[in-house]
Amino acid sequence: MGSAGGTGSITERLSAALESRSARVQRALGSPLRTTRMTVVVGRLLGAAFAICFVTGLYSHLLQDPLPWLPLPVAATHLYGWTQGTHVVVGSALIPLLLAKLWVVFPKLFAWPAVRSLPHLLERASLAALVATALMEPITGILNVLQWYPWDFSFRRTHFALAWVLIGAMTVHIAVHLPTIVRAWHAEPATTSSPAGPHQGAPDE
Ligand code: HEM
């Protein structure tokens, strides 16, 4: 009995210590630029850029592995030049956009408790998949442009498969944060900014 109570108080004290440490880290990393509004401003550019890369990449994939029931304008070589050029240019722009987005939300990654419930655990897992694939896609794409393959897997198959994981995880991410996105989309920059703890919204958002 006594030891169970003792263990409980140790975990409670540990959790309280981590919670106050996480609050301190978040305050220390606070910046007037790290606002929910800024997250949405960068996020919508990132979302648009990934959507453009997904559609142009799918078109390129279907030209190389055509589906019998889906005729595509194969003679339109100029069209492919434009779609593939757009894919590479917008895909390269993803790197600075991603770094900007991760910089803005960085303090949120220290939130404690890290997992609050089963739905929250699933959301964190899909966020981890989103960040990993969002970094992998432009990096492998740029290495492919350089014709440098420091890996054993097939670039095309992996790039294609990860694109689906990325689009799925991004859809979940947008759905989870939709109320925050809608609120911050048209907000004046000044209304969502405060020097101490600029990120707004419920912890779930
Ligand atoms: C591949 C693209 C993206 C990546 C890697 C990414 C990454 C992240 C990360 C790591 C967080 C912090 C989550 C947390 O710890 O609670 C976050 C939050 C957020 N993201 Fe994204 N995101 C992406 C796309 C988007 C898009 C397209 C939007 C829509 C505009 C968006 C809107 C938001 C919002 C509103 C938040 C919460 C900000 C807050 O609570 O202040 N994200 N994102």
**Inside any domain, residue 205:** no
Let me know: does 199 contact 106? Beta carbons within 8 Å.
no
**Inside any domain, residue 195:** no
The domain total for the chain is 1
**Inside any domain, residue 17:** no
**Inside any domain, residue 199:** no
51-91 residue pLDDT tens: 999 999 999 999 999 898 988 877 778 899 999 999 999 99
- 32: Cβ–Cβ under 8 A, 6 or more apart, which residues? 193, 194, 195, 198
| C-alpha of residue 11 to centroid of ligand 1, in Å | 31
| C-alpha of residue 166 to centroid of ligand 1, in Å | 13
Within 6 A (CB) of ligand 1 lie 36, 39-40, 43-44, 46-47, 50, 101, 105, 108-109, 127, 130-131, 134, 170, 173-174, 177, 180-181, 199-201, 205
Average pLDDT over residues 12-33: 83
Which CATH number do you get for residue 45?
1.20.950
| C-alpha of residue 81 to centroid of ligand 1, in Å | 32
| C-alpha of residue 5 to centroid of ligand 1, in Å | 40
**Inside any domain, residue 147:** yes
Structure tokens at 67: 């589906």
Q: How far apart are CA 162 and CA 182, in angstroms?
A: 28
Average pLDDT over residues 128-139: 97
**Inside any domain, residue 47:** yes
**Inside any domain, residue 16:** no
Which atom of ligand 1 approaches the CA of 42 most closely?
Answer: 30
| Cβ-defined contacts of 95-98 (< 8 Å, 24+) | 95/138, 95/139, 95/142, 97/42, 97/45, 97/46, 97/49, 98/46, 98/134, 98/135, 98/138
Find, among 110, 109, 155, 108, the residue nearest to 136 by Cα.
155
Range of the domain at 41: 33-188
**Inside any domain, residue 1:** no
**For the chain, what percent of residues have pLDDT higher than 90?**
62
